[in-house]
Structure formats: C-alpha cells, structure tokens
C-alpha cells in the first residue's frame, strides 16, 4: 500500500513538530489534531499540514480521524501526570482503532528502558503500552507496527537542556540530584528522520529500535556542558540519594515540576543502549557539536543572549 496521508498524534509538541517537518519534506500529507488550535499555530506555515481541533482521547473522534489516513504516528507522552492514561491506555486505544479503521501502519513512540517491572511509574506505563500494542498487532497481522525507544531527546526547544539553561542563568550554585545518572542523548532531528524513514521501510515492521546518540554522559556532565556554553561561573554540587529524594519531593509540588521522585526512580536505570543508532536511518549527530551549531544559527543567536543574560 502506498502511504500518502498520516495522522500525527502529539504533533504539536517538541518532537512532533520536527517529525511533521520531516514528513512534509518527504511529500506526505499530515493531519495534526490538537485540543487547542493555538498550541499548533507554529505548524501553520508548513505546507500539506492540516491542523484540526479535536480531543484525541474521545474514541469516536479518534476513529473518525484514523479512517481518513493511511498511517498513524503516536508521539503522545508526558513526564508528569497520569502515566496510565497517556502511556498505557492510549497506545492500546490507538492500536485498536487502527485495526477498526483499517489503517495498516502504526509508529509508536515509547522510551528506553520501558518495562512493566521497571523502577518508576513512567517506565512501567511505557512497558504496559508497548505490551498492549504488540498484543494487538499479534492478533491482527495486517497491522504493521514499529516501536521507537529513545533516550533523552535534545534539541533547540527541548525541555531538558533548556531547563538547566534557565537554572544556570539565575543560580550561582546548582544542587543536582542523581548526578551520576547516565544518559545517551539523541538529537530530535535524528529521531524525527528515523520515524519518517520507517513509515514505508518494510524491514522496520514488527521491530523495536532503541534510539541513542554516540556518547554517554552523566547528568552532572550534561549540566557542566551547559555551564560551559553559558560562559558563566557556576558550581555543581552532586547530592547524595537521601537529599536527591528530598529535593525531588519539594520540587514536584512547585510550578513546573523540575523533577519528581518518579523521575529519580527512572534514573536508577541508565538511559543508554549497547545498540547504536541504526545505520538504516542515516548518520547520528553528536550532542556537543549539534548544540553549538544551533546556538550559532539565526534562531539560536536570538536565544543565546537571553540565555547568557546579556
């Protein structure tokens, strides 16, 4: 089957925006549903993107949307909140609706270390979502699924590195919980390209792909990298386990929830993989040169003075 129209769930977010751009560049027509049109207004400039106001958690609405498309990409995910609803129940519903609507192709975003027996609610819910999708695909062989499991995703508008940029701007000392937690950051452009390529690549059907960058960092090393970019003098103090938990317990009750105890439990497992970024999806970009590259770009220059406080 030739795929022309794609339903992109979670398409107005950080990763979704980049995926939409990759899909458009490859000639696809993309529908991005959103509960509030203003959240997706930045996509209006993209050709062949249709933004529709819709509640994707309403089963009838989602079914009607799916019927109009050849493939579905589900990027819906959260770091805080109702994990069971977003990571377990929703992927299961999406897979079922693909079957009901006769949609033959589903790309599901999960996370590295997704495991029903994982140490955190986040990882457990991701594991349950994966298990549900694969169970439906097994029962309905006409539905072809590809699963992606990225480590932390970085990019110009990410919520990870930019969070530390904000902290560094205002605080001379950074007390850091779980400083030795390990990550293998992967660039959003590489993740989006992998998703777009997989749509009509038959060998990706029925496969799960970890997506990681070329280098492993501790959390402390990542923060020190950001400090180096800022040109500011900042001290990073790694907190022991007991103080890390106390810090997270306080922060999870503050606006923005910089970190929660569930986040800490997720970080007990290194967000790394012995399987490199698949060559099938092209070369992988390293974090340090990529970040420096977009900070020097036109958009980056507009943000860099704000970051530095100039």
Strands (E), 219-299: 235-238
* Rounded CA separation 104/140 (Å): 10
Burial 56-92 (b: 16+ CB within 10 A, else e): beeeeebeebbeebbbbbbbbbeeeeebeebbbbbbb
From residue 130, alpha-carbon distances to 5, 18, 42, 101, 146 in Å are 24, 23, 30, 20, 10
pLDDT in tens, 139-161: 999 999 999 999 999 998 898 88
Quote the CA–CA distance of 247 and 228 in Å, as a whole number: 24
Q: Phi, psi (5° rounding) for residue 257?
A: 45, 70
Supply 45's token pair: 């400039």
What's the chain's length in residues? 310
Rounded Cα gap, residues 8 and 138, in angstroms: 23
Which one, of 88, 239, 232, lies nearest residue 165 by Cα?
232
| CB-count burial class (<10 Å; 0-12, 13-18, 19+) for 9 | buried
Distances in whole angstroms, Cα of residue 45 to Cα of each of 29, 237, 283 = 14, 44, 28
pLDDT tens per residue across span 185-199:
999 999 999 999 999
Is the predicted pLDDT of residue 256 greater than 80, yes or no? Answer: no
Tokens 């993209």: give the residue.
Answer: 46
The span from the CA of 49 to the CA of 5, in Å, is 10
pLDDT band at 165 (very low <50, low <70, confident <90, very high): confident
Which domains, from first to last, does the chain contain? 5-153+186-211 (3.40.50.720), 161-183+214-272+286-308 (3.90.25)
Q: Which of 167, 181, 156 is nearest to 230 (CA)?
A: 167
Per-residue pLDDT tens for 40-54? Answer: 888 888 899 999 999
Percent over 70 (pLDDT), the chain: 95
Report, as an integer, the average pLDDT of 120-141.
Answer: 98
Nearest in space to 157 (alpha carbons), one of 62, 275, 18: 18
Provide the CA 196 distance to its chain's centre, in angstroms. 14
């Amino acid at each position: 089957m030739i795929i022309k129209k794609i339903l992109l769930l979670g398409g107005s977010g950080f990763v979704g925006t980049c995926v939409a751009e990759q899909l458009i560049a490859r000639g696809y027509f993309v529908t991005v549903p959103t509960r509030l049109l203003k959240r997706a207004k930045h996509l209006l400039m993209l050709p062949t993107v249709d933004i529709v106001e819709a509640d994707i958690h309403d089963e009838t609405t989602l079914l009607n949307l799916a019927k109009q498309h050849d493939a579905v990409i589900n990027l819906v995910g959260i770091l805080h909140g109702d994990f069971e609803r977003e990571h377990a129940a929703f992927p299961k519903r999406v897979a079922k609706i693909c079957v009901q609507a006769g949609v033959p192709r589903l790309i599901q975003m999960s996370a590295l270390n997704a495991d029903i027996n994982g140490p955190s609610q986040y990882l457990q819910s991701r594991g349950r979502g994966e298990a549900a999708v694969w169970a439906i695909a097994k029962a309905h062989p006409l539905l072809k699924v590809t699963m992606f499991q990225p480590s932390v995703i970085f990019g110009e508008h990410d919520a990870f590195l930019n969070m530390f940029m904000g902290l560094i701007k205002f605080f001379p000392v950074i007390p850091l919980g779980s400083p030795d937690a390990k990550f293998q950051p992967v660039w959003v452009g590489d993740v989006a390209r992998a998703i777009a390529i997989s749509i009509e690549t038959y060998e990706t059907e029925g496969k799960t792909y970890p997506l990681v960058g070329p280098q492993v960092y501790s959390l402390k090393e990542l923060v020190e990298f950001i400090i180096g970019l800022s040109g500011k003098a900042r001290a990073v103090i790694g907190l022991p386990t007991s103080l890390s938990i106390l810090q997270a317990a306080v922060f999870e009750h503050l606006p923005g929830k910089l970190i929660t105890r569930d986040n800490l439990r997720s970080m007990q497992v290194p967000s790394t993989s012995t399987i490199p970024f698949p060559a099938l999806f092209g070369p992988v970009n390293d974090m340090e040169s990529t970040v420096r590259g977009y900070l020097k770009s036109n958009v980056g220059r507009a943000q860099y003075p704000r970051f530095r406080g100039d």
